[in-house]
Structure 1
Amino acid sequence: MNHSTTLPRRAPGAPPEIREPAHVPVAHVVRGGIVEGVHHGSVVVLAADGSVEFRTGDIEAAFYPRSALKPVQAVGLLRAGLPPLDEESLALVAASHSGEERHLATARRILATSGLAEDDLRNVPDLPYGTAERDAWIGRGLGPTRLAQNCSGKHAAMLLTARARGWSLDNYLDPGHPLQWEIAAAVEDLTGQGIAHVTVDGCGAPLFAVSLHGLTRAAARLAKAAPGTDEGRVAHAMREHPELVSGSGRDVARLVRAVPGLLAKDGFEGVQIAALPDGRAVGVKIADGADRARMPVTAAALAHCGIDPDVLAAFATTPVIGGGTTVGTLRAAGALAPPATDAG
């Protein structure tokens, strides 16, 4: 559906152009000293003043942020009237959770604050996202449920907000629903640009196309927001509870724990944002959607922000395995990598 027919225009900037993005090589898969594979993508690094400090690829084309947009959607829900939640619950609103018991319990708690239940959710039923959680779930003979699906926290908050505002519940995922208009307004405000297109995300919620530059600008605004503001509340909850935003042992949670003050969120199809309290921020899109390239490229982008390479070392490469042993690495390449580390 076209943005111009479904959403009110409230952004100061025009929507990004819908075109084939001009992605460039951003990561190499090196096996036995030879570049075996190349991941293309786009990366932007913003300085504290919001200016573009580094860019490679196409950061202005319209794209889908997928779940990396959830922190912005959480701000939109607060602006729309989401009732007060504890920090853990607010972190889950911005989460792509693994389906651990604490994730499910927190989602139930959000629903219960307004007498809602899992049956009120309209997200797509799924198995837990985390590998260990999924295996244990299947081992118990359980099937897909709406609560186990990784976006259940966001959907619970959408229902809670709709009920608080007296809006209909059954169609809260309709792009024309007043709840989604409010969320779209926050997306346009925080990215500083119009929404180029609206489609449906994997969970069933409306998905708004912006640019990688715009998404990263929004991340920076959240990261440097004053305490007590809607943006600041979301950022604080995510920083304090990164395992609720993702899951135990997930790379995004480990990165937040490793870099003090970092705000970070991943998304399907190789999307990652990360931002520091002074407004420095990075945005990553891997063209082929490969998750394995997302974190090494993000680590290289954060190095451009001045983060200590020793802190980033654990995230900068992924082992390439042959015969049960490490025979190479997946690492950042092209303009992201120093010449000395980009050789085959």
Structure 2
Amino acid sequence: MYSSSVADAPLVREPLHAPVAHLVRGGVVEGVHHGSVVVLGADGQVTFQLGDIEAAFYPRSALKPVQAVAMVRAGLPLDGELLSLAAASHSGEERHLAGTRRILESAGLTEDHLRNTPDMPYGPAFRDAWVREGRAPSRLAQNCSGKHAAMLYTCKLNGWSLDDYLDPAHPLQQAIAEIVEDLTGQRVAAVTVDGCGAPLFSVSLHGLARAAARITTAAAGTPEARVADAMRDHAEMASGAGRDVAALMRAVPGLLAKDGFEGVQVAALPDGRAIAVKIADGANRARIPVAAAALALAGVEPSTLAEFAGEPLLGGGLPVGSVRPVRALDPVPVTS
């Protein structure tokens, strides 16, 4: 279905984003969210696009399933909830912290080996409880700790150095970069540092959607299928209780979905249909409504997606509007 050839890196330029969502209050458009959207058919072809799907951008945590595939290809033996945690942007619940400890213990390591940025839990309720208890920022509580624990485990298994595992020149990060290029089908355009301290690889929105599709269409038992199965079967281990991305995977059978900071969302179905969304201003409130509209364009039954239409905008405590995808996100195929 998909070619294994790798194309040139996407151009680094100011993306030509387009309006993708309106903030409507009392029937008046109060705000406009710009961004880009791509929808792929089961054959891998673009069936819808809006904005700039080919410019280089940073997928942020939406790239974690690809990073997890790279680690499994490098020998990471995790499955189930712990492999889901390896691809997680978790909320900092006790199960996430305990799971990260289990990964570290499997490698004979401790929290002291982690090199991610210390932080409070990402989930508001868990962050509030952390603060009430007077606890300091922690590497274990930071939302990428599962990924970092898995990175350390992968290094330990391969005999790679541990202290510098976040160096882009490290064998682990070189292996991840290779798989990013393999699954996205394009060279990496740029490398920087993500919020957690790990290398972050720039690809295109089109490439991100292609990578998700390649993961969900891979044969059973492959590293790609193991990651997809783990995340779908343990959606809240990859996110947290009450998180929209977990709810989306539960609502749409077989869907693999991952969010990322700065308004990024990717999702793919088992037959290879996939979507990717980037909200230009990073607004989280527009991410899921636009992603749901894109999934409807991909053929998901709209009634299944009704709960993801966006939270109501309140005025005086009463609903007076909402964030709505633009009319261009109607199910009309690309014409050339």
1:67 is matched with: 61
1:39 corresponds to 2:28 = no
1:49 is matched with: 43
SS at match of 1:256: helix
**CA shift for structure 1 position 11:** 6.3
1:329 is matched with: 322
Counterpart selection for 2:220 from 206, 220, 227: 227
Q: Aligned partners of 2:185, 2:303: CA distance in 1, in Å? A: 34
Identity, % of aligned positions? 71
Q: Aligned partners of 1:237, 1:117: CA distance in 2, in Å? A: 24
CA deviation profile, 1:180-206 (whole Å, cap 9, x unmatched): 000000000000000000000000000
1:189 corresponds to 2:176 = no
CA deviation profile, 1:150-178 (whole Å, cap 9, x unmatched): 00000001001111111110000000001
AA matched with 2:249: V
Kindly indicate whether the alpha-carbon contact (under 8 Å) linking 2:296 and 2:331 is maintained by their aligned counterparts in 1.
no
**CA shift for structure 1 position 212:** 0.2
1:81 corresponds to 2:69 = no
1:26 is matched with: 20
AA matched with 1:275: A
SS at match of 1:39: strand
Q: Aligned partners of 1:11, 1:106: CA distance in 2, in Å? A: 37
Mark the runs of 5 or more structure 2 residues left unpaired by the alignment: none
AA matched with 2:217: K
1:117 corresponds to 2:95 = no
Q: Aligned partners of 1:149, 1:30: CA distance in 2, in Å? A: 35
CA deviation profile, 1:96-143 (whole Å, cap 9, x unmatched): 000000000000000000110001000000000000110111111111
Counterpart selection for 1:106 from 89, 99, 105: 99
Q: Aligned partners of 2:331, 2:321: CA distance in 1, in Å? A: 18
CA deviation profile, 1:289-343 (whole Å, cap 9, x unmatched): 000100000000000011111111110232111111110111101411479xxxx
AA matched with 2:159: G
SS at match of 2:245: helix
1:278 is matched with: 271
1:211 is matched with: 204
TM-score normalised over the length of structure 1? 0.94
1:309 is matched with: 302
Mark the runs of 5 or more structure 1 residues left unpaired by the alignment: 1-9, 340-344
SS at match of 2:300: coil
SS at match of 1:245: coil
AA matched with 2:15: P
Q: Aligned partners of 2:64, 2:287: CA distance in 1, in Å? A: 18
**CA shift for structure 1 position 12:** 1.8
Deviates more, 1:11-20 or 1:58-67: 11-20
**CA shift for structure 1 position 81:** 2.2
Q: Aligned partners of 2:224, 2:202: CA distance in 1, in Å? A: 20
Kindly indicate whether the alpha-carbon contact (under 8 Å) linking 2:285 and 2:310 is maintained by their aligned counterparts in 1.
no
Counterpart selection for 1:94 from 78, 84, 87: 87
**CA shift for structure 1 position 79:** 1.4
Q: Aligned partners of 1:185, 1:81: CA distance in 2, in Å? A: 15
